[in-house]
Structure 1
Amino acid sequence: MSELLQVQHLTGGYSIGRPVLHDVTFDVRPGEMVGLIGLNGAGKSTTMKHILGLMEPHKGKVQLGGSTVAEATEAYRASLAYVPESPLLYDALTVREHLVWTATAYGVPRDVFEQRVEQLAAIFHMEQHLDKAAQHLSKGMKQKTMLMGAFAVRPPLYIIDEPFLGLDPLGIRSLLRYMSSVKEDGAALLVSSHILSTIEHYCDRFVLLHQGRVISSGTVEEMQAQFTAQRGVPAEARIEELFYAWVGTDEHAEGALGGGVKWES
């Protein structure tokens, strides 16, 4: 299976000479969900901004479909949809108007769009709220509006940052089921979340960031084998236990790099 998204030796951040990310490398393939995990400040959002083309790498590159954003700007941006951690909506626009605006930007045909909106509104229990202005929506409804916009355009890649914030249990279940369905249809998903016990059952692989470096990546089984060999973690440990074992203290993080780097907390 060829990679859709390739992050290759990415070093970057907000200031030249003071990178947030250090030689970050991973990929996301069609038909899989990859969990990007780490503590607050680990570099997850900065990584996503580089993937979105909002930041230029100091070193390395990000390719989507074999091209960087500079090489094929329009095709690159049309190949992904992004759902941020905090919903970004216009107060005066209704849910439906937001969805129409998004679909128009991506060139989705009207009849296809209307069918998708009807389906998504039912899945996320938003049928009665499509014509409400954003200023009258709850936080959870705003999050659902962002998610519906992303899913309505059906890009090859979804980048979703903390998707469960503000959602009730029913909304979380609906979201997880729908993410699984688009993955089965061949889409790729890069999902960042602190709710490790939930995404463990849905992600195919994980990328563990700490202080801007990838300290482990792979399936749960591959990470279990690595952590058992290097840290003495029980072989049956789940992703949440593996996470704590490696980033719970500076000593764990330092050990991941062979003891050659001292990280500040």
Structure 2
Amino acid sequence: MALKINGLVGGYSRIPVLKDISFEVNSGQLVGLIGLNGAGKSTTINHIIGLLEPQKGNITIDDVKLKDDPKTYKGKLAYMPEMPVLYQELTLKEHLELTVMAYNLDAANAWKRANELLKIFRLDNKLDWFPANFSKGMRQKVMIVCAFMTEAQVYVIDEPFLGLDPLATRDLLNLVDNEKKRGAAILMSTHVLSTAQEHCDYFVLLHQGKIRAQGSLTELRSLFKDKQASLTDIYLGMTQGGNTNE
């Protein structure tokens, strides 16, 4: 087991957005976090990465809580935000150097990994570029390289396909697959349900701050009582009062 959310109640005020959320992301597993805007996906992610503190319940990575051992917890976790966050005064190379320092990575191994990723995402000739020179898709690729060069135990990736062209999307999915094989646990929030259905091992369907359903596609289809239902069918049925559990 890698990431575990148990009885999580939380949000941005005393009135909770999340209402008793529990699920796990195990080693070698890609879990899709699915829900409408406002369902609680970003709030869940912000609790996992430590921007919000749970009102009730707890979150652990290998049984380590953030508040008990921040260094160990954060060292196991890499986060890729929906909107790229880059420092305008730093070059691409300096962003990678900052990642090496932040995670206390072995420089030689980290740069070997980074160079492999830079070639995959066609950024290897842009190390001296500043963020102002990058397109939205290129900024997204920088975030991918910074996250995956850490070879973290747990990845949290939020809407990773926004701004990516089809080639970069394919390369990211191949990268995710390779990290799963390495044993990483990956939580992915996405609205691209066809891609999620094809690549995720397990799904957590959020609606109005509650988990309406979770499981593999086969399990969700059984719950939905339709062996041929797509993830989109189940998702829409859930949000429109379809045949899923409360």
TM normalised by structure 1 equals 0.90
Report the number of matched residues: 246
Q: Greater relative contact order (Cα 8 A, min sep 6): structure 1 or 2?
A: 2
CA distance, structure 2, for counterparts of residue 174 and residue 129 of structure 1: 18
User: Matches of 2:110 and 2:10 in 1, distance apart?
Assistant: 37
User: Which residue matches 1:231?
Assistant: none
CA separation in 2, counterparts of 1:10 and 1:117?
35
In structure 2, what is the Cα distance between the partners aligned to 1:175 and 1:130?
20
Question: Take 2:138 and 2:216, find their aligned partners in 1: how far apart are those partners?
Answer: 33
What amino acid does structure 1 have at the position aligned with 2:107?
R
**2:20 maps to amino acid:** D
Q: Secondary structure at the match of 2:141?
A: helix
Aligned to 1:66: 63
Hey, what's the Cα distance between the residues in 2 that align with 1:224 and 1:9? 25
2:3 aligned residue: 5
- Alignment counterpart, residue 160 of structure 2, candidates 163, 167, 187: 163
Q: 2:145 aligns with which of 148, 159, 181?
A: 148
CA shift, 1:54, in A, is 1.4
Deviation of 1:112 after TM superposition, in Å, equals: 0.6
Q: Which residue of 1 aligns with 2:12?
A: 14
Match of 2:50 in 1: 53
Q: In the alignment, what sits opposite 2:237?
A: 245
Amino acid at match of 1:91: Q
SS in 2 for 1:85: coil
In the alignment, what sits opposite 1:262?
none
Alignment of 1:76-155 (within 5 A): 76-155=73-152
1:92·1:135 contact (CA, 8 Å) conserved in 2?
Answer: no
- Structure 2 unmatched runs, 5+: none
Paired letter, 2:55: H
Deviations 1:9-58 (A, max 9, x none): 11101111x10000000000001100000000000000011111111111
Deviates further, 237-246 or 42-51: 237-246
The match for 1:215 is 212
User: Do the aligned partners of 1:92 and 1:133 also contact (CA within 8 Å) in 2?
Assistant: yes
Shift >3 Å, 4+ stretches: none
Deviation at 1:183, TM superposition (A): 0.6
Q: CA deviation at 1:65?
A: 1.1
State the AA in 2 paired with 1:242. I
Structure 1 residues not aligned, in runs of 5+: 229-233, 258-265
Kindly name which structure, 1 or 2, has the bigger radius of gyration based on alpha carbons. 1
1:200 offset after TM fit, Å? 1.3
Using the alignment, how far apart are the partners of 2:130 and 2:151 within structure 1? 24
Aligned residue for 2:125, secondary structure, equals helix
- 2: CA distance, partners of 1:56 / 1:31: 27
The alignment yields a C-alpha RMSD, in angstroms, of: 1.1
Aligned mates of 1:67, 1:110 — CA distance in 2: 26
Measured in 1, the distance between the counterparts of 2:66 and 2:88 equals 31
Distance 2:100 2:229 in 1: 43
Residue 119 of structure 2 aligns to a residue whose secondary structure is: helix
Counterpart in the other structure of 1:260: none
| 1:26 equivalent in alignment to 2:23 | yes
For the residue of structure 2 that corresponds to 1:128, the secondary structure is coil
Structure 1: how far apart are the matches of 2:114 and 2:59? Answer: 32
> Which 10-residue stretch deviates more, 51-60 or 158-167?
51-60
Give the CA deviation at 1:103.
1.3
Q: Deviations over 1:210-250 (max 9, x none)?
A: 0000000010000000111xxxxx31111111111111x2x
